[in-house]
């Protein structure tokens, strides 16, 4: 039984720290290591620092997979403590540098205080691009878009692949059903790519590490199509977004709060956009309401 914040060896030079959003550790040699993500907050950063100190490791850098707060929350603390670089690419670099972008994007406007907390709003950190000279060139950058804008995974030289948030565990999907997705089409393509991948070990952030993730990929894909079909069933008559979201929550037995409204609401909007672009959903403005309807 793995304990929380236990350091687990994944390959000859690769490890992960078992925590709510698994943190990778790559041993680059000569006592220097790189983290893959940094956890949710300062307290996580402190626990990671203790692990590094116990092993006599110097933190050279943090490779951020994407900019969700539970993956970059320890950046500021670790950067201040060690002087390490934080590496991020594309839009993720902007969100990591200016973290208020995450709750603002999710809410669709300036986020109220209920959304400005550490689970959605990390502290900012100084960011370097993946092209920086100090990025470990032997680590492969794997584009994994869909869950978030420019999300990436990483493959270390011992063939450990850190998959971050592109697949969720069965337990999570059975409990919450609507996992966060920014771009449904891109997400499904990422699942196709991951299903074909080979590795010595796959380490998802929110599922157990495994030598074979094909079955879990298929389960994640099936859940996407299930949610899409549910939305299509809901919209047999024209409905506005709030009614659609209400029925999605009711159908899956979910409980609404500000955080769920932002996360699931953003995801349902992404499904609606995807279905409309596919020609399976129509949208019209009636009495100054945007109404969505399934195309039959």
Place of tokens 């609606």: 272
* Residue 121, pLDDT score: 98
* Residue 1, pLDDT score: 75
* 35, 78 Cβ separation under 8 angstroms: yes
pTM (predicted TM-score) = 0.97
Q: Give me the domain span that covers residue 280.
A: 228-294
| Residues 115, 116, 120, 122, Cα dihedral to 10° | 180
* Residue 92, pLDDT score: 98
DSSP state at residue 231: H
Domain boundary among 225, 244, 276: 225
* Residue 67, pLDDT score: 98
* 33, 60 Cβ separation under 8 angstroms: yes
* 247, 234 Cβ separation under 8 angstroms: yes
Count of domains for the chain: 2
Residues 232 and 221 in one domain: no
Residues 53 and 151 in one domain: yes
198-225 pLDDT, tens digit each: 999 999 999 999 999 999 999 999 999 9
* Residue 2, pLDDT score: 83
Residues of the chain with pLDDT under 70: none
CATH of the domain at 218: 3.60.15.10
* Residue 223, pLDDT score: 98
């Amino acid at each position: 039984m793995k304990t929380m914040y236990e350091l687990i060896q994944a390959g000859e030079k690769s490890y992960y720290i078992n925590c709510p959003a698994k943190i990778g550790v790559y041993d680059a040699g000569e006592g220097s290591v790189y983290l893959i993500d940094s956890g949710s907050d300062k307290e996580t950063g402190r626990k990671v620092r203790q692990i590094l100190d116990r092993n006599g490791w110097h933190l050279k850098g943090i490779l951020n997979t994407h900019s969700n707060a539970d993956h970059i929350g320890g950046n500021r603390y670790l950067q201040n403590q060690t002087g390490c670089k934080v590496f991020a690419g594309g839009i993720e670099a902007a969100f990591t540098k200016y973290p208020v972008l995450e709750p603002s994007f999710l809410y669709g406007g300036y986020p109220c205080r209920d959304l400005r907390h550490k689970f959605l709003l990390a502290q900012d950190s100084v960011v370097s691009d993946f092209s920086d000279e100090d990025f470990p060139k032997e680590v492969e950058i794997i584009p994994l878009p869909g869950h978030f804008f420019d999300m990436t995974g990483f493959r270390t030289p011992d063939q450990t692949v850190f998959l971050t948030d592109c697949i969720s565990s069965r337990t999570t999907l059975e409990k919450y059903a609507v996992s966060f997705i920014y771009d449904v089409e891109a997400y499904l393509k990422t699942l196709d790519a991951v299903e074909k991948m080979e590795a010595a070990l796959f380490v998802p952030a929110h599922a157990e590490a495994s030598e074979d993730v094909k079955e879990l990929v298929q389960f994640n894909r099936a859940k996407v199509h299930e949610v899409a079909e549910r939305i299509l069933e809901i919209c047999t008559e024209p409905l506005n977004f709030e009614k659609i979201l209400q029925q999605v929550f009711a159908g899956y037995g979910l409980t609404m709060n500000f955080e769920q409204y932002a996360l699931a609401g953003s995801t349902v909007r992404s499904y609606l956009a995807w279905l409309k672009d596919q020609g399976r959903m129509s949208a019209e403005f009636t009495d100054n309401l945007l109404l969505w309807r399934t195309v039959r």
